[in-house]
């Protein structure tokens, strides 16, 4: 990646900042673009990294193209979007309309095509395949506003190939690791455990952890593994990946109840937990998601390397006080469930 100019849209977010740091460590010149980028101190961005302030939700194709041209972009990674604490109109603006404007900006640039790596989501599939891991040919039927708007962005990238845009979509499983947004289930639980650990250190009783009904099983991928997949997509030959959708996950469905309780066990905290009952019509998402990641192995030479405990430990270490030790791995506990087990559950 030495010498490449990589522009990361949403570059100060959960995945964007990781991707930028990894690209810079691999020798690229990195430009982090986001509304909050001017607030990022230059030393914090790291060597070879610059921060560019631009409100991507309102920026015109001309403004986006000007940033890409000034950076001499060879690659654009779109890690921008809206998932948490947003209504469907806001999600459409951040997940679909922004992609259309980025594609228009790329089409207007002179010179050879700029590689676009678009970060999609497993939620584009909806229920996926009930009897097997879901492959990229599965017809998406998203059931949430997030999934629907992200699918619009994916389809825009695939259509743009006809205009010569060198675009690839990485359809990510649920990403977990330090810095995961507090709007997510994992971020919310992590923040609660951090507060509980600080209360415990003061000799106070931890507040009850209130959880939604945990009936689902989800495919998860470590943030570091997801970042590695992005780097592989950046440098893969266009003949292999242009116009492709590529699943990025662990290829297993993980029961959320077991995973959250595993997270609590690793934290070493004793605290009351209350899980809400699931009433009629209370489910807003699908119960089972598991990705077939064979295309990523074949086209990107990528596979997940981190265990779920690796991911949970990184997340917990980022929120617990430094003096609070994490527990070891008890025998017989695993958060993984194979596709076959998930079908039986």
Say how many C-beta atoms besides its own lie within 10 A of residue 20's C-beta: 30
Residue closest to 272 by CA, chosen among 215, 199, 202: 199
Q: What was the pLDDT predicted at 308?
A: 94
Query: End-to-end distance of the chain based on CA atoms, in angstroms?
Result: 44
Is pLDDT of 245 > 90? yes
Handedness of CA 93, 150, 308, 13 (dihedral sign): negative
Does position 344 have pLDDT exceeding 60, yes or no?
no
User: For residue 80, with 0-12 CB atoms within 10 Å meaning exposed, 13-18 middle and 19 or more buried, which class applies?
Assistant: buried
Binned at pLDDT 50, 70 and 90, residue 329 comes out as low
- Quick check: 334 pLDDT over 50? no
Give me the mean pLDDT over the 60-80 stretch. 97
Band of the pLDDT at 84, cuts 50, 70, 90? confident
140, pLDDT greater than 70: yes
Averaged pLDDT, 228-237: 97
Per-residue model confidence as pLDDT tens digits over 23-39:
999 999 999 999 877 65
pLDDT at 156: 97
Whether 99 shows a pLDDT value over 60: the answer reads: yes
pLDDT of 66 > 50? The answer is yes
pLDDT of residue 332: 37
What is the average per-residue pLDDT within 174-181?
95
Residue 277: what pLDDT? 84
Q: Considering the chain, what percentage of its residues have pLDDT values greater than 90?
A: 76
DSSP 145-204: HHHHHHHHHHHHHHHGGGGT-EEEEEEE-EEESTT--TTSHHHHHHHHHHHHHHHHHTTP
pLDDT in tens, 184-220: 999 999 999 999 999 999 999 989 999 999 989 999 9
Q: Which of 158-167, 214-223, 334-343 has the lowest mean pLDDT?
A: 334-343
Mean per-residue pLDDT over the chain, rounded: 89
Is pLDDT at 331 greater than 60 in this prediction? no
Q: Which of 127-131, 199-203, 220-224, 272-276 is the most confident on average?
A: 220-224
Token match 């980022």: residue?
318
Which range has the top average pLDDT, 165-174, 206-215, 321-330? Answer: 165-174
Residue ranges matching CATH 3.40.50.720 in the chain = 5-112, 121-139+169-329
Quote the CA–CA distance of 204 and 282 in Å, as a whole number. 34
**Distance (Å, rounded) from C-alpha 206 to C-alpha 183?**
21
pLDDT of residue 5: 97
Classify domain 5-112 by CATH architecture.
3-Layer(aba) Sandwich (3.40)
- The residues annotated with a catalytic role in the active site are 146
Residue with tokens 């030959």: 237
Sign of CA dihedral 100, 101, 102, 108: positive
Q: Does domain 121-139+169-329 have CATH number 3.40.50.720?
A: yes
Give the dihedral sign, CA 222/224/227/232: negative
The partner residues of 174 in beta bridges, in order of sequence, read 220
Predicted local confidence at residue 261, as pLDDT: 93
- pLDDT mean over 66-86: 94
- Say what the pLDDT of residue 283 is: 52
């Amino acid at each position: 990646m030495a010498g490449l100019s990589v522009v990361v849209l949403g570059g100060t977010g959960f995945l964007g900042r990781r991707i930028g740091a990894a690209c810079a460590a691999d020798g690229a010149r990195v430009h982090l673009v986001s509304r909050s980028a001017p607030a990022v101190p230059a030393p914090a961005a790291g060597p070879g990294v610059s921060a560019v302030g631009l409100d991507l939700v309102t920026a015109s194709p001309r403004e986006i193209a000007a940033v890409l041209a000034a950076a001499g972009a060879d690659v654009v990674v779109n890690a921008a979007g809206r998932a948490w604490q947003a209504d469907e109109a806001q999600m459409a603006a951040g997940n679909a309309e922004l992609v259309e404007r980025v594609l228009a900006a790329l089409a207007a640039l002179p010179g050879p095509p700029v590689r676009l790596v678009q970060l999609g989501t497993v939620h584009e599939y909806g229920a996926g395949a009930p009897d097997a891991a879901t492959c990229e040919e599965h017809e998406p039927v998203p059931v949430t506003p997030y999934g629907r708007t992200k699918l619009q962005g994916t389809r825009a990238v695939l259509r743009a190939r006809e205009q010569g845009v060198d675009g690839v979509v990485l359809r990510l499983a649920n990403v977990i690791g330090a810095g995961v947004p507090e709007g997510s289930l994992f971020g919310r639980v992590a923040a609660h455990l951090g507060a509980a650990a600080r209360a415990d250190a003061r000799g106070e009783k931890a507040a009850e952890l209130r959880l939604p009904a945990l009936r689902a099983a989800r495919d998860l991928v470590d943030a570091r593994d997801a970042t590695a997949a992005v780097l592989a997509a950046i440098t893969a030959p266009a003949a292999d990946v242009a116009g492709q959708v590529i699943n990025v996950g662990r290829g297993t469905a993980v029961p959320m109840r077991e995973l959250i309780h595993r997270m609590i066990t690793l934290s070493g905290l004793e605290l009351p937990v209350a899980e809400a009952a699931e009433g009629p019509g209370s489910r807003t998402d699908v119960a089972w998601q598991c990705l077939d990641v064979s295309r990523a192995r074949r086209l990107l030479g990528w596979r997940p390397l981190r265990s779920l405990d690796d991911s949970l430990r990184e997340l917990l270490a980022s929120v617990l006080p430094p003096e609070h030790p994490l527990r070891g791995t008890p025998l017989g506990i695993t958060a993984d469930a194979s596709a076959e087990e998930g079908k039986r559950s």
